[in-house]
Amino acid sequence: KAGVTQTPRYLIKTRGQQVTLSCSPISGHRSVSWYQQTPGQGLQFLFEYFSETQRNKGNFPGRFSGRQFSNSRSEMNVSTLELGDSALYLCASSPLRPDTQYFGPGTRLTVL
Amino acid sequence: ELKVEQNPLFLSMQEGKNYTIYCNYSTTSDRLYWYRQDPGKSLESLFVLLSNGAVKQEGRLMASLDTKARLSTLHITAAVHDLSATYFCAGILNTGTASKLTFGTGTRLQVTL
């Protein structure tokens, strides 16, 4: 079974731009969660989607948004990028909630 | 709100030695997870602990859960260099129909010859 895939793997943007990251969960998994990992703040929960509905949201500003499609693929969008948004963005999927979450390889975003 | 604390933050140990990583959490967690992360890589699931007294073992790693003490431990037996990585514990708090992982700060393990 293929694992969680994320695209792109690396991204460089400048302040003020916006970015969209994509995540394809493991086949059959309906829950997709997003996390941000930085050296200073560690791993922080962004949001979770289940059956195209956002079920939970972390403490991030409204510039961070996401969505899930009917095939369970998910995207997250960050608008008006700031330097502090530079991070590894990890997507995780699970078949049910709660259940073990399986993480993708991540997208490393650098904001200049 | 669930808070998860790990210690130590950094652990340097010699091959062949034993050591334990501690994970304390602040409130009832429905389950407790352990993950491993290699540098520049994603998170690999190691264990999920579901109930008080749960113990799971895989190779040289053994995880346990004490829900009364709100403590989980990851014990490393006879460490080898391949175990060098960062280990995270994470709790999960079901809030109605939603759930999210709350991670500890991670323990960076370095196994030296």
Q: Which amino acid is at B28?
A: T
Whether B96 has a pLDDT exceeding 80, the answer reads no
**Cβ count within 10 A of residue A98:** 18
Residue of B nearest to A36 (CA): B103
DSSP letters, A6-56, are: EE-SEEEE-TT--EEEEEEPPTT--EEEEEEEETTTEEEEEEEEETTEEEE
> By C-alpha distance, which of A83, A98, A105 is closest to A16?
A83
Between CA A19 and CA A57 the distance in angstroms is: 19
Cβ-defined contact of A45 to B102 (cutoff 8 Å): yes
Selected for mutation to probe chain A from B42, B51, B92 (highest A CB count within 10 Å) is B42
Whether A26 has a pLDDT exceeding 60, the answer reads yes
Q: Does A56 touch chain B (CB under 8 A)?
A: yes
pLDDT at B54: 87
Whether B98 has a pLDDT exceeding 70, the answer reads no
B82: left (phi over 0), alpha (psi -120 to 50) or beta: alpha
Between CA A111 and CA A60 the distance in angstroms is: 17
pLDDT at A98: 62
Q: How confident is the model at residue B113 (pLDDT cuts 50, 70, 90)?
A: confident
What pLDDT, in 10s, does the model give residues B41-83?
899 999 999 878 889 999 999 999 998 999 999 999 999 999 9
Q: Does A42 touch chain B (CB under 8 A)?
A: yes
Residues of chain A with Cβ-Cβ distance to B98 below 8 Å are 48, 55-56, 97
**Cβ count within 10 A of residue B9:** 11
Selected for mutation to probe chain A from B43, B46, B87, B108 (highest A CB count within 10 Å) is B43
What pLDDT, in 10s, does the model give residues A61-112?
999 999 999 999 999 999 999 999 999 999 999 887 667 889 999 999 999 9
**Residue B81 backbone dihedrals phi, psi, to 5 degrees:** -60, -35
> What's the Cα-to-Cα distance from A33 to each of A12, A45, A57, A104, B108, rounded to whole Å?
23, 8, 10, 11, 24
Does residue B82 sit in helix, strand or coil? helix
> By C-alpha distance, which of B21, B109, B102, B33 is closest to A43?
B102
pLDDT at B51: 79
